[in-house]
Structure 1
């Protein structure tokens, strides 16, 4: 039996390894020696490929020596019997597997198109950035997205001639020259040239786009988005676009199976097997465990604390104590006058009142974690992402009265067992709609929500907007990255509440807490889904 096609499929197409001829021969010998069943061959090859990734000297080329070493390691592990699974312990304590991650503490990784692997940024991240930072930022976004687009089955080079008809080949802008009248598929970033004309840029150049007769595909399209465009190269050296679309996203399980050994968050990487085992335990033992999420908690509004008190009372009365309360700003209903001591003093008093309210419910304050994520209007907020945490000078009373309080950046992340939850407080819907290049006509409200979610997940970034609209600290763009795809994203927005799941990623907006109803959302890690909830406003003075 010939295993060569499957070996190429797994190592070359999926894991993007280059195999030497004697490496392929060795793999064929191993598979034949162990008489592996045909339906288990691919699983066996993937297990070997994953072990190869863990070898320090393994780059894009897998030599026979590396394969021999991996094979011996796997044989020894098999002879010693299955390793002890830490999940077999009688007690699984959620507190030991909960991490609140600040954007400024995340390690900086970038995807190297040359080595086809993630590498650590060679310089130390700085708020001011470096001369190389901005160039590296856009190239990193480009290379990151393109690597999984090329791994997608529709864009992977076919093994046999019979698959060539369905193969979509991406052409660079440089290769358009001298090929007027031909049709191509391009990948690059939408931008405008100095004359204000829409262009597509890639790493080799740019071409002007003509979208006069083009109806954009699903999703939002703004300057700064990476897109796939199909069209014809015309005599005036422009590209007449027939179709435009976001790159196909890669599900979390697929990305984790390839890059699971990379510690993206900085708190220790877990294997895909461990994640799956943890999830099983969560579903069996902690089905009611929850995160309660609120946004725009205006502490200067007269009804906010009363409404929040009713929420706490309901939790205690129903014996439903969330593991985490995620409280997102803005914690003020209007901009603060930073030149006035009265405004800052009032802000301080409101946070102190919140601390006293939480401490008044011991069952909650002693057992629940409180995560405070700042909004654009909170001090010392700015339009630059990521935003710094709430200043410690305002939070001393909360820290003293609420033992499990956390004050991360915006955005922030929660690592809980094998789950990754991203928290982002930004009025993103309004920003995207104000900066559209084109959008489908006759949109309904549900389409807007779906298009927003699809855009940020496909773009693998929380803010796929031009820098003048959404400034970014260049050295910290990795903190906005959504790759591997997170388990859930909390898009805390002043827009109306919603929740939906796209490509396995659950995205929800808890909405504004103060309004016609005191609304919030509850996220259940065991199911990976959220529920909208509220309290009866008639019972609030």
Structure 2
């Protein structure tokens, strides 16, 4: 029987489709046929469908790889290919399509300006970072956004010449300004300071000093380190008198995925836009799947653990609607780990949390994800921030089967969706370092401006490294390109939720800090992948 099965596999894959099957791939095909008890008279038909589906994949080659073979098999299970009927989405195991990605595990994907695409470096990134990486990550960010701008319809010249050909927007390099005083130009570059402390614009060719006296900023927050479009007049003093300044246009997720669907940005395997769309019926059918997200879970606060107990009791009683994941963001102590008794407070806090979670075995099927805050050990001013050390987390991870301590930021992947979680007091840092902001007649919506800024900048921290240091060779983990499905900006700022260019961004608010001091409400957010939206949740403790 085994020899007949192997002969059928070789006949279809090797003889008919000229594919080379390694031992691992051959064993996997045999295993699938045996586990599904496929009759021998249906082997050839089933294998033919499988081989065709494999050849449709973007990562297919003559030497069959096991991941691509498994991906083709999953696609056949979904039944969304051209040759089969649609399968029941409720039969798909959603747990197998959920993963947590640590920033330090993401592949080092770099932008190649010559090819206009991305490549994965074979060299592992270093925390120290080389001298070349100090400027390379800024050039990459500038190059990515410039490509987005040039693809925008307002910057693309018509294919056929005519009157409209002269109406599209044209970018000018700082190198081409000399000798052209009195003319208007549109420039793209990064806001920075020259050695004399003057505000200037830097691009790939040089820098020019900006005169902001007559500038009219557009919507968003403008700080040093932001990539901006500047329209102004070049003067005889070799400065640009800025007339208007704005953020670059953003690019929606489906557009970017259509261009770079073959790139593995997260490390879990590349997924094309076509393949991502196959999972949409399954996502929509599983409306009960949710993620619970809390921020500022102060374990040393006397009312935090009672509030968590009441929260866990509520979710444990909901038999059919238990969350897939609980995401707990720091800070996990009110005053951080430094100072007298700081380490002991952390140890006692996580030990008490472990005992609390052990009393809810019904929730152990959920994932528990812990993201460090700015004051958590070991405190550092750089992003990404490593996970909380095992000295505090080992007892919890050993007792709770699906508990995981990850970096800040981190990412959750659910089928083709991507949820970015960042615990950073970003609003305060952006406001303190403003270069300009649009002056509306009414009240400025700072929350919308912040969301628009980070998504237009395709980065979680569009600030200079002198203000917000980053690990140079891990800057790719802070990148928001392609645009995620959702972003959690866990901040001590007031909670909010809004959607910009199809990306849902929300701040869950402070769990303890929102009302724990006076016994008020404890608030958090629930995110539902089926709707792509979040909802506010809250509870109160009896006095």
Give matches, 1:259-278, under 5 Å: 259-278=260-279
Q: How far, CA to CA, are the matches of 2:206 and 2:338 in structure 1?
A: 46
Structure-2 change in CA distance of 1:117 and 1:87 (3 Å) = farther
1:93 matched to 2:93? The reply is: yes
TM-score (norm: length of structure 1): 0.82
- Structure 1 residue 156, shift from structure 2 partner: 1.3
1:153 matched to 2:153? The reply is: yes
Q: How far, CA to CA, are the matches of 1:459 and 1:102 in structure 2?
A: 22
Q: Could you say which residue in structure 1 is the equivalent of 2:230?
A: 229
SS of equivalent to 1:422: strand
Q: How far, CA to CA, are the matches of 1:445 and 1:212 in structure 2?
A: 23
Q: Could you say which residue in structure 1 is the equivalent of 2:356?
A: 357
SS of equivalent to 1:335: coil
Q: Could you say which residue in structure 1 is the equivalent of 2:295?
A: 295
Show structure 2 runs of 5+ residues with no match.
1-55, 62-80
Q: How far, CA to CA, are the matches of 2:455 and 2:358 in structure 1?
A: 38
Deviations 1:83-103 (A, max 9, x none): 679966762111100110000
SS of equivalent to 1:265: coil
Deviating more after overlay: 308-317 vs 465-474? 308-317
Q: How far, CA to CA, are the matches of 1:111 and 1:473 in structure 2?
A: 17
Deviations 1:351-395 (A, max 9, x none): 01011111111111x211000000011110211000000101101
Q: How far, CA to CA, are the matches of 1:266 and 1:85 in structure 2?
A: 31
- Structure 1 residue 274, shift from structure 2 partner: 2.2
Among residues 442, 449, 452, which one is paired with 1:451 in the alignment?
A: 449
Show structure 1 runs of 5+ residues with no match.
1-50, 57-80
Q: Could you say which residue in structure 1 is the equivalent of 2:523?
A: 519
Structure-2 change in CA distance of 1:212 and 1:90 (3 Å) = closer
Deviations 1:74-133 (A, max 9, x none): xxxxxxx94679966762111100110000010111111111121123533100000111
Give matches, 1:81-160, under 5 Å: 82=82, 91-121=91-121, 123-160=123-160
Aligned residues between the structures: 461
Q: How far, CA to CA, are the matches of 1:374 and 1:86 in structure 2?
A: 42
Deviations 1:306-329 (A, max 9, x none): 111111122233433110000000
Is contact 1:328-1:374 (8 Å) kept?
A: yes
SS of equivalent to 2:118: strand
Is contact 2:333-2:345 (8 Å) kept?
A: no
- Structure 1 residue 139, shift from structure 2 partner: 0.6
Q: Could you say which residue in structure 1 is the equivalent of 2:508?
A: 510
Deviations 1:272-296 (A, max 9, x none): 1222221221112x11210000000
- Structure 1 residue 343, shift from structure 2 partner: 2.3
- Structure 1 residue 446, shift from structure 2 partner: 6.6
- Structure 1 residue 54, shift from structure 2 partner: 6.4
- Structure 1 residue 158, shift from structure 2 partner: 2.1
Is contact 1:87-1:277 (8 Å) kept?
A: no
Q: Could you say which residue in structure 2 is the equivalent of 1:529?
A: 533
1:214 matched to 2:212? The reply is: no
- Structure 1 residue 165, shift from structure 2 partner: 4.1
Q: Could you say which residue in structure 2 is the equivalent of 1:371?
A: 369
Is contact 2:89-2:282 (8 Å) kept?
A: no
SS of equivalent to 1:154: helix
Give matches, 1:262-341, under 5 Å: 262-284=263-285, 286-319=286-319, 320-337=321-338, 340=340
Kindly report the root-mean-square deviation, in angstroms, between the aligned alpha carbons of the 2 structures. 2.0
- Structure 1 residue 164, shift from structure 2 partner: 1.8
Among residues 490, 493, 499, which one is paired with 1:492 in the alignment?
A: 490
Deviating more after overlay: 120-129 vs 398-407? 120-129
TM-score (norm: length of structure 2): 0.82
Is contact 1:87-1:278 (8 Å) kept?
A: no
